Structure 1
Amino acid sequence: IAYRREELVNKLMNREWLAQFAPGTVGAAYRGFLEKTGYSADGLAQISREQHGTNANLEHPYAWFGRRERDIHDIWHVLTGYQADDPLGELCLVAFSYAQTRGLGWGFIALMGALKSLREQHGKLVRRAVLEGYRNGKAASWLHAEDIDALFAEPLDAARKRLNIPTPVAYRAAKDAFAAVDVSAVAVAAE
């Protein structure tokens, strides 16, 4: 995969390519994710181009790997079950990403989110969910090595099992608890 250096953004933006995946597959779940959130792979790429200018498209292997990590971020939302339109879901995926990549930026964001939750009434739930995200990322197979074509054709539940990605129990418990009270409590703790 790294040898070929395939750029994923074009594939992930191709509606015809995404339409081929049967219901229940990772590809269909990703397609549903895009439809539900209104996000696009090109949206993250555009932000990257705005922040990094021409350096965003360098041919260097490190630059390619950075683009791949950017492009698979939303796929990881689908695989892990951490919602993208939810600050806690994003924070949990950041912790998962740190465990997968050891990227210090991911680690810093996860740590700051967890520390910020110390001041919140339900902060313990946030910290449990973030720690679970880290542990799940550490236990999972290395997702950067996945062939996207094969992964997208695989049933979502089978992919999660094969990749050792468990159900995010603490995250769901926190979301349920926050739904029973003021939802803004989780937003404050996780932002």
Structure 2
Amino acid sequence: MNSLKRMLLRKRVKPFAALLATRKLLKDPDDTRQVFKIIDALSGDVIGRTVKRLSDDATGRELLAKKPNIVDLLNDSERLSAMPPGSIGYTYWQFIHMQNLSADGLIASSEGTKENVGFTADERWTGNRLRDIHDLQHVLTGYGRDPIGELSLLSFMTTQVPNQGINFIIKMGTRKYRQEIPSLDIEALIHEGRSIGQQAAWMPAICWEDRLEESLEDVRTELGFTPPIKYQSSQINQPELFATA
């Protein structure tokens, strides 16, 4: 495939596909596949831009060269559960078991998107990496999987890696909460997620494989992850995620 055609495929935006996925997501908010489809339809060349930023970073270049597969490690429950209590890996293991999740589940939910169409090897790996560290971002930020936690995490994510598909979901979610729970200051929670994303180190350029045994609290401090105070004080939350085990 020539470079021009590959570029066009990467940048293609599919508004009708996004609309169809949005309708399905509104009918079933737990249908994670529709979230991936919306992001796929509207994200344009976000992966290409992310690869460029990785290429400009020393650790990012090393990750692109080695292309580690973090899924194997994140699926290794025996190894994760043996890590020190309070470590990133142990807390991640607690989180996925509490929520009945797996790294493979994210892969299954993303099936049918354009991640392998017109992408270079670096772009395919980067797209997969952004998907595979989603639940690690829950652990590092302290956001739970309740609807407000997910929406706040999306705000963090699109601040770190700007994505019009995610921005669309945030706008849709914000409008929903304005209508259904007007007493909730959803804008403040979205702003908090954005602020945490601005202050924290850039997650895609971190070799998380080498850091899972480190103290979660220490790494949060080192990398600038501030507690989501407004989220923790909201009615729908899981604030224990930001506490040390």
TM-score (norm 1): 0.83
Match of 2:219 among 159, 174, 188: 159
Give the C-alpha shift of residue 149 in structure 1: 2.5
Structure 2 stretches lacking a partner, 5+ long: 1-62, 239-245
Give the C-alpha shift of residue 7 in structure 1: 1.7
Which residue does 1:21 correspond to in 2?
Answer: 83
Q: How many Å separate the matches in 1 of 2:116 and 2:227?
A: 37
Give secondary structure in 2 for the equivalent of 1:38. coil
Q: How many Å separate the matches in 2 of 1:53 and 1:111?
A: 23
Which residue does 1:138 correspond to in 2?
Answer: 198
Query: Is 1:79 the counterpart of 2:140 in the alignment?
Result: yes
Match of 1:63 among 124, 134, 148: 124
Give the C-alpha shift of residue 117 in structure 1: 2.5
Query: Is 1:48 the counterpart of 2:110 in the alignment?
Result: yes
Which residue does 2:70 correspond to in 1?
Answer: 8
Pairs aligned (count): 175
Q: How many Å separate the matches in 1 of 2:133 and 2:82?
A: 19
Query: Is 1:31 the counterpart of 2:31 in the alignment?
Result: no
Give secondary structure in 2 for the equivalent of 1:129. helix
Give the C-alpha shift of residue 123 in structure 1: 5.0
Residues 80-95 of structure 1 aligned to structure 2 (within 5 Å): 80-84=141-145, 86-95=146-155
Give secondary structure in 1 for the equivalent of 2:235. helix
Q: Relative to structure 1, is the Cα distance of residues 110 and 53 closer, same or farther in structure 2, using a 3 angstrom cutoff?
A: closer
Deviating above 6 A after TM superposition, structure 1's stretches of 4 or more consecutive aligned residues are none
Structure 1 stretches lacking a partner, 5+ long: 180-191
Q: How many Å separate the matches in 2 of 1:161 and 1:3?
A: 28
Give the C-alpha shift of residue 80 in structure 1: 0.5
Q: Relative to structure 1, is the Cα distance of residues 150 and 54 closer, same or farther in structure 2, using a 3 angstrom cutoff?
A: closer
Rg comparison, structure with higher value? 2
Give the C-alpha shift of residue 118 in structure 1: 2.4
Give the C-alpha shift of residue 151 in structure 1: 2.1
Aligned-residue RMSD, C-alpha: 2.2
Give secondary structure in 1 for the equivalent of 2:134. helix
> Any idea what the Cα deviations from partners look like across 1:94-143, whole Å, max 9, x if unmatched?
00000000122122212222233222344542221111001111111101
Identity of aligned residues (%): 33
> Any idea what the Cα deviations from partners look like across 1:57-103, whole Å, max 9, x if unmatched?
x762112111101100000000101002x000000000000000012
Q: Hey, which of these two has a bigger chunk of helix by percent? A: 1
Q: Relative to structure 1, is the Cα distance of residues 143 and 123 closer, same or farther in structure 2, using a 3 angstrom cutoff?
A: farther
AA at the equivalent of 2:127: G
Give secondary structure in 2 for the equivalent of 1:2. helix
Match of 1:98 among 138, 158, 183: 158
Q: How many Å separate the matches in 1 of 2:92 and 2:166?
A: 22
Q: Answer whether contact 2:154 2:170 (CA < 8 A) is retained.
A: yes
Give secondary structure in 1 for the equivalent of 2:113. helix
Q: Relative to structure 1, is the Cα distance of residues 2 and 54 closer, same or farther in structure 2, using a 3 angstrom cutoff?
A: closer
Give secondary structure in 2 for the equivalent of 1:89. helix
